[in-house]
Structure 1
């Protein structure tokens, strides 16, 4: 019996002059229906949580550059390395279904929390909480050095794709293959000075919000609410459940998270300075360097986040190259929305 039906039963019981015994029976039936409804909801919630792939545990840490990076590691220690990079506002559990599949094929899979996420921390309180792209990409190289990984396959989306692109462009000798969602995401402050058409600017509403003190305070106060909104806008056809969201949103409680995010978007608009030690790298990136390593780029057919057209960046990849469209309502987070297809893309990139 549905909740509406039980209410109608209860109303009917009070509308007609029936014996007291029948009135009590009607109340019991109504209460029983509500109880069963509650039990069913609880059971459905438990089933949803149980159907999630096991969470990735960032139970390892290593000092790398400015950071003590928290990361998950799966697979044999002597396996060929794959590094999976998450985006904003997500976390390593975007790869909860992907990483075990790659590890089962004999790869050493590393899934780090970016600076400002999860268990990753700055080694010094004096280090600027810098979110500029060259800093994030340098973290990947520092992680590889710390783990004594000479060469790895890199895969990522959103901020993770941008970092992977930069490493592949500036340190191609360190990258065996690349999988990049939304393709070529290397930019510069100079390129970002050019205004976009109004419809395109509208998609970047949060970038302009973060440019204000109100935006910084709002993101600090409503971090999880903000993240949920971005998930919904960026993947409008992805019906993620509360359990999936909450276990990733916990990574946003990192004490440096808000500062890193605000600096990242303000830096893009030229409203915040970067660190001098990254100036030479940013100068090279401003020239939009080519990516020569074997690459597969991916786009979801329902990506609601700002992203370039595939034909606009195809010529930036001069090595072996493929582009794939993930269909079926796939949005901005393909490794979590279409893990089997993402795993296949990584495996195929390695074989290009």
Structure 2
């Protein structure tokens, strides 16, 4: 059975369910300000290997799932949304892939619900505790200072409404993708909802998620403007299972700019996890 929408109380998440319905399942989680289409150039290689892909437009990005209050975007609710997508598809365990904020959800899901995660591929996003340690470096703190700006009411919306395309292309995102995501952010309530992921950080009960014990690949671009090498280097310290670090000469937007490398890393992780057997 294909899953097109998932209901979470009054919220409705849109899902791209593609590939062989009886294949092993990949749960693909996007970041800010993307949507599930960010994986569009990655999934053909996964489907060719017999894998099913579930790529939701996450809470705040689906038009039917944009509650206005920041408390609705706590990380624990975002993890529950991801698991609800698996439940709706009848999938007990999936290979989880996350980019940017989706990587944060993926790390938390692997830490809290390892029985649901066959393997983890984190794209760009280091383990949250590695990033927290790296924040002691002024260079890393400066590069992520926008997180503090996003805590303010209304001002971030006013700035991004005018400059989002310029900021995205300036950070290395291809123009067509930047225009698409900016168009989605112009939908009613969308930009506020996306920013509420950041504004909910002080409210989350996960501070930050703990170490993971599932097979993990971390894919990082050495030219990422927001995430420096320190956090990337420390991420393996928080994985208590088979771990692989893949460094690319690329920036932040790896699903859009390096889809072949992302797909290859995912397929290698799936194959490695299968070779290890259960547990």
- The answer (yes or no) to whether the contact 2:12–2:62 under 8 Å persists in 1 is no
- Note closer, same or farther for the CA distance 1:185–1:133 as it changes in structure 2 (3 Å cut): farther
* Residue equivalent to 1:29: none
- The answer (yes or no) to whether the contact 2:33–2:194 under 8 Å persists in 1 is no
* Residue equivalent to 2:178: 245
- Note closer, same or farther for the CA distance 1:215–1:140 as it changes in structure 2 (3 Å cut): same
* Residue equivalent to 1:171: 113
Give the Cα separation in 2 of the matches to 1:99 and 1:196. Answer: 37
TM-score by length of 1: 0.68
Number of aligned residue pairs: 268
Give the Cα separation in 2 of the matches to 1:325 and 1:87. Answer: 20
Give the Cα separation in 2 of the matches to 1:165 and 1:205. Answer: 22
* Residue equivalent to 1:226: 164
Alignment equivalent of 1:95, drawn from 39, 49, 63: 39
- The answer (yes or no) to whether the contact 1:92–1:111 under 8 Å persists in 2 is yes
Give the Cα separation in 2 of the matches to 1:228 and 1:118. Answer: 24
**What is the deviation of 1:298?**
0.7
Q: Which has the higher helix share?
A: 1
- The answer (yes or no) to whether the contact 1:86–1:159 under 8 Å persists in 2 is yes
Structure 2 unpaired stretches of 5+ = 273-279
- Note closer, same or farther for the CA distance 1:300–1:229 as it changes in structure 2 (3 Å cut): same
* Residue equivalent to 1:313: 235
* Residue equivalent to 2:262: 342
Which of 1 and 2 has higher RCO (CA within 8 Å, sep 6+)?
Answer: 2
- Note closer, same or farther for the CA distance 1:224–1:185 as it changes in structure 2 (3 Å cut): farther
* Residue equivalent to 1:136: 78
Give the Cα separation in 2 of the matches to 1:93 and 1:155. Answer: 14
* Residue equivalent to 1:258: 191
* Residue equivalent to 1:294: 215
Higher-Rg structure is 1
- Secondary structure, counterpart of 1:121 in structure 2: coil
TM-score by length of 2: 0.84
- Note closer, same or farther for the CA distance 1:139–1:65 as it changes in structure 2 (3 Å cut): farther
Give the Cα separation in 2 of the matches to 1:147 and 1:174. Answer: 13
**What is the deviation of 1:212?**
2.5
